Amino acid sequence: MIEGIEGNVVFGLILTTLAGLSTGIGSCLAFFSNRSDTRFLAVSLGFSSGVMIYISFVEMLATATVELGAIHGKMVGSLYATSAFFGGIVLTILIDRLIPSAVNPHEVKKVEEMDAPAHQHHQHHHPHNKRLLRSGMFLALAIGLHNFPEGIATFVAALKEPAMGISIAVAIAIHNIPEGITVSVPIYYATGSRKKAFFWSFASGLAEPAGALLAWLFIMPFLTETLLSVLFSAVAGIMVFISFDELLPLAKEYGEHHLSIYGLIAGMLVMALSLAFF
């Protein structure tokens, strides 16, 4: 095992847990707000994607390429880094393809839909509709599966660069908020219970610390400088795919395209300044 890395393990696990459980914030927003602040969500999602895209290309992939080049030579090192980067993208695509389109977390829900049980109860929609409850729980499971590689990404980043792990955790926490709303809406509609809706929304975020725990159990015993750099590059690929496939399209679904781009640029700028001064 790499010397000095053990001290970052607990920090990485805590960071990943906090990022994952931010889905509970989405539930709280759904319960205590009357309307979705689409402008804020669009900017926030754009900001998250800006942070993740910038740090992936400028810092993570670049650092992995340099370090692998120093160990294995420039050509072989570049090949390792590039292969790992696109391997991370392929892994995320495969996980995404496992999720049926009907419950894909890319389909945005809004806080306003939390009022559905009260307004539609007399329109043949029973609050204990088992089929809808099953769909909502499956949606929570699907989002959990979708979030699994994000947990690995945050954990690996925190192992190598704790400050970078914090930046990634914040970006992931922001984009978990609308996912929390997405899980809460159908479960609350099916059961009429805010507690159950919150529980399943909160639980869907546990996939991220689970991903971190799995990485710790199966990767740490074999961790070398080469493996860590390869993982670093793969994480960059995971985050780039998440940004282009999930965050930016989700921001656009909220109907604030320009604001999401402004948020993206702001995220890149903040990340650039943080890398320059810290």
pLDDT digits (tens, 9 = 90+) for 189-203: 767 777 888 888 888
- The answer as to whether 227 is a domain residue is yes
Domain count, the chain: 1
The one-letter amino acid at 24: G
Task: Tell which residue, 19, 20, 26, has the closest CA to residue 167.
Answer: 19
The one-letter amino acid at 127: P
Task: Tell which residue, 222, 106, 228, has the closest CA to residue 164.
Answer: 228
Query: Domain containing 17: what range?
Result: 7-277
SS3 category, 195: helix
Give the tens place of pLDDT for each residue, 212-268.
Answer: 888 888 887 887 889 889 988 998 998 899 889 877 887 777 666 788 899 899 989
Residue 126, pLDDT above cutoff 60: no
Cα(111)–Cα(106) distance, rounded to whole angstroms?
A: 16
pTM: predicted TM-score of the whole model, two decimal places: 0.71
DSSP state for residue 35 in the 8-state scheme: S
- The answer as to whether 202 is a domain residue is yes
pLDDT at 138: 66
Residue located via tokens 């930046």: 167
- The answer as to whether 94 is a domain residue is yes
- Mean pLDDT on 12-27: 85
- Mean pLDDT on 105-114: 55
- The answer as to whether 113 is a domain residue is yes
- The answer as to whether 1 is a domain residue is no
Give the tens place of pLDDT for each residue, 38-56.
Answer: 777 788 888 888 988 998 9
Q: Encoding tokens for residue 238?
A: 């995971």
SS3 category, 182: helix
Give the tens place of pLDDT for each residue, 149-164.
Answer: 778 888 888 887 888 8
- The answer as to whether 110 is a domain residue is yes
Kind plus residue range of the DSSP H or E element containing 5: none
- The answer as to whether 224 is a domain residue is yes
What percentage of the chain has pLDDT greater than the value 90? 18
- The answer as to whether 2 is a domain residue is no
**Cα 33 from chain centroid?**
23
